[in-house]
Structure 1
Amino acid sequence: MAVSDDLIWDADDKSMQMIPRLRRIGVTAACLGFLGLLFWIDSDAMWVLFVGAFYLLGEIVYWAWDRRRLIEVRLVPGEADGPAGLRLRRVGGRTTEHDPQHVVRVLLIHDNVLDLASLRLSLQGGRLLFGRPGRPPALAAWRSACPAAEVGERGAHWGMPGIPD
């Protein structure tokens, strides 16, 4: 069976988002520095250093998690007319190929407000991969690409106040 290079998941934002992250860190550091100087006069302001350290640690953890998120999933032909494979591309630039038979579950979570969906891809061995939000693809493409997988979709569990779900 000849398979073309079909795109079955595509995220809206594929960048590393470093400029907004650095701007956010800079603004937070400036605000914490100002508060530290303001409270340093009469009391112990060591808590400002702890808050800044915890915030920086949180940003680093989020950056490491975000680098592993999927931005693109393609169905690629196998070598020498072999079975097709899934090529997963991540935010950090890493590309891996997996056998579609090793996909256990594909879940698309539709946003209640925006016309976007998030991807959760479960592989054998308990690996769970997250995708950045993107346009909701047709489930038929996932069902044909991964016939052994449980393919489903659901709405998000949250909504905007005042808007009925």
Structure 2
Amino acid sequence: MAVMAGCLGLFGLVLWADSEVGWAIGTAASYVFLEIAYWAWERRRLVEARVVVGETGDRARLRLRHAGGRTTEHDPHQVVRVLVIHDNVSDSAKLRLRLRRKRPFFGRPGRPSVLTAWRKTCPGAHVNDRKAYWGMPGVPD
């Protein structure tokens, strides 16, 4: 991102001497803004959400692997809401997860998770599933 913004900025400086290059600088600034917005959105995306039992037989923990490569562990009692959205066309599902005092996390499409495991591990959470609101174009629902 920084390299691309630097190249666009250098391009704008080269053109500055000969003509008006406000559009080039505006393009570089908008590109940087869009990359920062995408990075902030991607931080909340999950690649994997797994319930793991501690090595010493402790309580189960919720391990979340984020799209950026970061892995975090949370107490299952912090989970407020779990929503699994089943795709109407393929055998996949998306996960929507909300922890107490945190922004919601969005899972990438993958295999549908078992709701009974979520209900057992996170007793205080509102666990639900639903079908997606959209269907395949041209096919009546």
Match of 1:73 in 2: 49
Amino acid at match of 1:81: G
| Aligned-residue offset at 1:46 | 5.5
The SS at the match of 1:81 is: coil
Structure 1 segment 75-114 matched on structure 2, within 5 A = 75-78=51-54, 80-114=56-90
Match of 2:106 in 1: 130
Match of 1:145 in 2: 121
Amino acid at match of 1:74: R
Determine if contact 1:68/1:92 at 8 Å carries over to the other structure: no
* % identity of equivalent residues: 59
Amino acid at match of 1:152: N
| TM-score when normalising by structure 1 | 0.62
Structure 1 segment 1-165 matched on structure 2, within 5 A = 50=26, 53-55=29-31, 57-78=33-54, 80-165=56-141
Match of 2:12 in 1: none
Q: CA 1:46 to 1:157, structure 2 compared with 1: closer, same or farther past 3 Å?
A: farther
> How far apart, in 1, do the equivalents of 2:27 and 2:40 lie?
20
| TM-score when normalising by structure 2 | 0.71
What count of residue pairs does the alignment treat as equivalent?
A: 128
| Aligned-residue offset at 1:150 | 1.1
1:60-119 CA-to-partner distances (Å, cap 9, x unmatched) read 422332233111122222364332111111111211111111111100112222322111
Amino acid at match of 1:115: D
Moved more, 71-80 or 138-147: 71-80
Q: Which runs of 5+ in 1 are unaligned?
A: 1-24, 30-43
